[in-house]
Amino acid sequence: MSKKKEIKKISEKKATTVIVLAFLIIVFLGGYVAFKFRDNYKSTLQTNVNNQTFTYSSELVTLTSSNIMSKEKGLKSDLRSIRIYNNTRDDVEYKVILENDDISCTCTEKIPTHLIRYSFDGKTVKSLTEDNQVIYKGKIRSLSSKNIEIRLWVDESFEGNDEHYHGRFIVERIEG
């Protein structure tokens, strides 16, 4: 075989290799972009238009006798934070519920729900009720997050010692 033919074959092999590698890189990048920018439904708060859930459940919220305090002290107590993510392309209306955790706490020494106080702004005090434990309603824009801060305490009129409260913050989509 002549030297020119050998050089031509080597050049063809190099060109083929470069073309195959370029094609693989394009396919890989295209797949990465397709999966990277699709809606991610594995976030803390989830939703989509196809009846997926839009829920968040916090860690256990516990109130004990150490959380019994006056209104003034309660309004300055430690903040609890609820971080909500909306990684979809739709704005979503939601509600935050402080739900009694009767599953993990089957004890009988419970602080009555109507004596639990809360505040979002450090000024306005609200109380839970047995019937309606929705404590907040809002709207979150598409592809954004929101941090809700709340103070929780037990009203000073409560006279118990061993009683406690267990609950969870639940965030749900408002349908309709």
What is the per-residue pLDDT across 106-164, written as a single tens digit (0 to 9) for each? 677 888 888 999 999 999 999 988 766 889 999 999 888 888 899 999 999 998 878 88
Taking the model in full, what pTM does it have? 0.64
Largest Cα–Cα distance of the chain, in whole Å?
103
The 3-state DSSP class for residue 20 equals helix
- pLDDT tens per residue across span 78-94: 998 888 888 777 888 98
Q: Where are the domains positioned within the chain?
A: 1-38, 55-173
Contacts of 95 (CB under 8 A, 6+ apart): 134, 136, 137, 138, 171, 172, 174
